[in-house]
Amino acid sequence: MNIKEKDREYIASTYNRFPIEIVGGKGSVLRDETGKEYIDMGSGIGVTSFGIADEKWQQAITDQISKVQHTSNLYYTDPCVILAEKLCLKTGMKKVFFSNSGAEANECAIKAARKYAAEKKGGDHFTVITLKNSFHGRTLTTLAATGQEHYHELFTPLTPGFAHVEAGNLEELKKTAEETKAAAIMIECVQGEGGVIPLDPDYVRGVYDYAAENDIILITDEVQTGNGRSGMLYSYMNYGIKPDIVSTAKGLAGGLPLGATLLGEKVKDVFGFGDHGSTFGGNPVCCAAAISIIDRIDDALLDEVKEKSRYIFGEFEGADGVESVSGLGLMIGIKTVKSASEVVKTAMENGVLCLTAKDKVRLLPALNIPMNVLEKAVKNIKSACASK
Ligand SMILES: *Cc1c(COP(=O)(O)O)cnc(C)c1O
């Protein structure tokens, strides 16, 4: 059996993979088993922030792995502390809990919000309000948080205590929060899996004000939007708000598994010993990788992200076969006349890897994709969108 046949034999059938095997690459160029090269416009779903086999990132990992690869959280290690300090200083958040994935970062955020509300207002204040069309993860609790019914089917009963409201409708949110005695509101400032849809700034501001006035914990899920992707370090910074909790993962460690839940002033001390934990959380190698990523997301890089974003919007808006373009920074959704999957297939055949989100072609290139490589990819994707 070749590797594709063996995969179908031995790997659980949860992924409908494209028919190529990635064997290597450099930066924003990937190579398959036949030697064919592709420009990577997906970054492993927003994970490889500085591309494949980036040298500074590799150095940070090899330095740490040659010292100590894991200790458990029974002992002090330095990479997780340095990383937590950097994240707090750059955001104004106060403490960090480390885990291994986006779903886990959200689980921690939900636990923190529930404990805060239970202590402050009583155990009947447990509901977490999220938005319809949101995506917050695949564990049974984060599935319950996810406001898309089709993910829930046949996995019920899910964790109780979640309510979903329409994005943009502040009155519905307030009414639901009152009726359910909400503990928290959790939003993605740009809905990623839901179709790369930025929330309306007035709405986000309204949610923030309402949550602050009513001592409801505001969580921003920055798993996909975080770590420079939106043109700011975290996407909430585009909206002039300050959440109580920020969850992030995907691009944080540039390709190693790491989740982080950033706890603001209200909840910084909500957890006591034994309240939460993770065997691998804060792993020194993953944290060393993340330090190397966070250190490079400076104003100059963020300006570059915004510049490339403007370029991509400019190229696709009004282009042949393109209905609309949405998104923020290097998180872009393109509604095409042809089906998104057809466009992605054609682009792949022509040497560009793209993603989809609902009915859109989704682009999440590396933050440092070189301009000439980006131009080539855009040209290619435009031709895949075009009527002929
Ligand atoms: C990908 C994603 C998650 C889930 O992250 P995992 O690492 O797959 O658990 C949660 N929230 C958002 C917004 C995401 O994009």
| Residue 231 CA, distance from chain mean position | 14
Look at residue 24 in the predicted model and tell me its pLDDT. Answer: 97
Answer yes or no: is the C-beta of 108 below 6 A from any ligand 1 atom: no
| pLDDT score, position 1 | 85
pLDDT beyond 90 at 254: yes
384 C-beta closer than 6 A to ligand 1: no
The string of pLDDT tens digits covering residues 273-326 is 999 999 999 999 999 999 999 999 999 999 999 999 999 999 999 999 999 999
Average pLDDT in the 215-236 region? 98
Q: What is the pLDDT of residues 168-208, one digit of tens each?
A: 999 999 999 999 999 999 999 999 999 999 999 999 999 99
pLDDT tens digits, 5-37: 999 999 999 999 999 999 999 999 999 999 999
- For residue 137, the CA-to-ligand 1 centroid distance in Å is 5
The answer to pTM > 0.95 is yes
pLDDT tens digits, one per residue of 33-82: 999 999 999 999 999 999 999 999 999 999 999 999 999 999 999 999 99
Pair of tokens at residue 188: 């993605």
Q: For the chain, give the percent of residues with pLDDT over 90.
A: 99
User: Residue 48 gets which letter from DSSP?
Assistant: -
Residue 204 near residue 212, CB atoms below 8 Å: no
With a 6 Å cutoff on the Cβ, whether 221 touches ligand 1 is yes
Which atom of ligand 1 sits closest to the CA of residue 104?
Answer: 9
Instruction: Name which of 170, 168, 173, 148 is nearest 158 in CA terms.
Output: 148
141: closest CA among 155, 154, 131, 153? 155
Cβ of 224 closer than 6 Å to ligand 1, yes or no, is: yes
Residue from 43, 100, 131, 136 whose mutation best tests the ligand 1 pocket (most atoms within 8 A of CB): 136
What is the spatial distance between Cα 222 and Cα 109, in angstroms, rounded to a whole number? 12
- Establish whether residue 194 lines the binding site of ligand 1, counting it when its CB lies within 6 angstroms of any ligand atom: no
Question: Measured in whole angstroms, how far is the alpha carbon of residue 71 from the centre of its chain?
Answer: 27
- Ligand 1 pocket, residue 44 CB under 6 Å: no
Kindly state if the Cβ of 137 falls inside 6 Å of ligand 1.
Answer: yes
171 Cα to the center of ligand 1, angstroms: 28
Please give the structure tokens belonging to residue 53.
Answer: 């086999």
Q: How far apart are CA 176 and CA 191, in angstroms?
A: 21
Domains of the chain: 3-53+299-385 (3.90.1150.10), 68-294 (3.40.640.10)
Burial class (CB in 10 A: 0-12, 13-18, 19+), 8: exposed
Angle at CA of residue 83, ends 136 and 74, nearest 5°: 90
pLDDT for 62 = 98
- Evaluate if residue 270 carries a pLDDT over 90: yes
Alpha carbon distance 334, 323 (integer Å): 8
Helix or strand (DSSP H, E) at 171 = helix 170-180
Question: What is the distance between the alpha carbons of residues 57 and 204, in angstroms, rounded to a whole number?
Answer: 34
E strand segments, 222-283: 245-248, 259-263
d(CA 87, CA 95): 9
Please state, in angstroms and rounded to a whole number, the distance separating the CA atoms of residues 15 and 163.
Answer: 29
Indicate the residue type of 169.
N
pLDDT of residue 324: 98
